């Protein structure tokens, strides 16, 4: 136990890095994913095609490969992220946006046809009916799948450890390699930290779902 107390600052910093990775990329992925979902239902064929291509490409690429390219690959087109942390945020949000897009699109499909028809009958155009009528209802129905995407994202942040970001998992392997006898305590602490994030998010999302659910 005293071992964990000695390394408390290291573990806390790792926890905060993991949390900020997850929050930042979650926010960016939500924005990008919503824009992609809007593109996928838009009247313009080119936008639909572009969004579909994006989603298919990123869903079929392992996250490790995306990390790899953003960290080691883009130097060949003379680009570079300022820090490894920013690269990790970029990789996580680009990857997760594809899944957010699919979740939001399923929500858009679940809004009943009459809503959009009524909106158009009132003279709202595509942008207005999407942003004021369809999306607000869609977001309420996709809270459970979005919650799953968010929890998966929080767990996926651990991959950043393989690319020189000192998150919880990186702290874990550093401490585990340096202190062979305390390995179980280290694992217990790190797993507990991840459980704090995932289980509390699961609880939060179920509360949110109950509060916002539309009774049909």
Partner 1 sequence: MNGARVLFDVPGPRARRRQRIGSILGALLVLGLVALALWRLGSNQQLDPNRWSILFDPASNVPQRLLAALVDTLQVAAVGMVASVVLGALLAVGRLSDHWWLRVPVTVVIEFFRAVPLLVLILFCFLYLPKVGISTSPFGALALGLTLYNMSVLAEIFRAGINSVDRGQAEAAYGLGMRKWQVMSFILVPQAVRRMLPVLVAQLVVLLKDSSLGFIIGYMELLRTARSLVEYFNSLYGDTYTFQLYVGAALMYILVNVLLSQLAKLVERRTAQNVKTTGTAPLDVPGGVPALTGQVTGTV
Task: Pick out residues in 30-89 that bind partner 1 (CB under 8 A).
Answer: 41-47, 50, 56-57, 59-65, 68-69, 72-73, 76-78
Q: Is 121 in the site for partner 1 (CB under 8 A)?
A: no
Q: CA 43 → CA 33, 34, 103, 197, 212, distances in Å? A: 18, 16, 20, 39, 30
- 23 lies in the site for partner 1, by CB under 8 A: no
**Which residues, in sequence order, are CB contacts of 86 under 8 Å at separation 6+?**
none
Nearest by Cα to 22 from 123, 153, 110: 153
Task: Provide, rounded to whole angstroms, the least separation between the CB of residue 82 and partner 1.
Answer: 19
Q: Is 177 in the site for partner 1 (CB under 8 A)?
A: yes
Interface with partner 1 (CB under 8 A), residue from 21, 90, 153, 189: 153
Closest CB 160 distance from partner 1, rounded Å: 10
From 5-13, 81-89, 159-167, 207-215, give the range in contact with partner 1 by CB under 8 A: 159-167
Q: How far apart are CA 134 and CA 196, in angstroms?
A: 34
Task: Return the sign of the alpha-carbon dihedral for residues 23, 25, 27, 30.
Answer: negative
């Amino acid at each position: 136990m005293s071992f964990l107390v000695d390394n408390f600052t290291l573990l806390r910093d790792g926890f905060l890095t993991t949390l900020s990775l997850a929050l930042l990329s979650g926010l960016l992925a939500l924005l990008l994913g919503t824009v992609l979902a809007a593109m996928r239902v838009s009247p313009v064929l080119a936008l639909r095609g572009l969004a579909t291509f994006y989603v298919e490409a990123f869903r079929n690429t392992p996250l490790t490969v995306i990390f790899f390219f953003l960290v080691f690959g883009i130097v060949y087109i003379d680009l570079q992220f300022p820090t490894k942390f920013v690269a990790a945020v970029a990789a996580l949000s680009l990857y997760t946006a594809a899944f957010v897009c699919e979740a939001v699109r399923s929500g858009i499909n679940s809004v009943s046809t009459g809503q959009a028809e009524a909106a158009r009958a009132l003279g709202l155009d595509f942008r207005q009916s999407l942003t004021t009528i369809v999306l607000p209802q869609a977001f309420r129905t996709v809270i459970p799948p979005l919650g799953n995407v968010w929890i998966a994202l929080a767990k996926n942040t651990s991959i950043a450890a393989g690319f020189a970001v000192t998150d919880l998992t990186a702290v874990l392997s550093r401490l585990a390699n340096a202190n062979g006898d305390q390995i179980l305590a280290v694992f217990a602490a790190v797993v507990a930290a991840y459980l704090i994030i995932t289980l509390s998010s699961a609880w939060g999302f179920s509360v949110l779902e109950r509060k916002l659910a539309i009774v049909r």
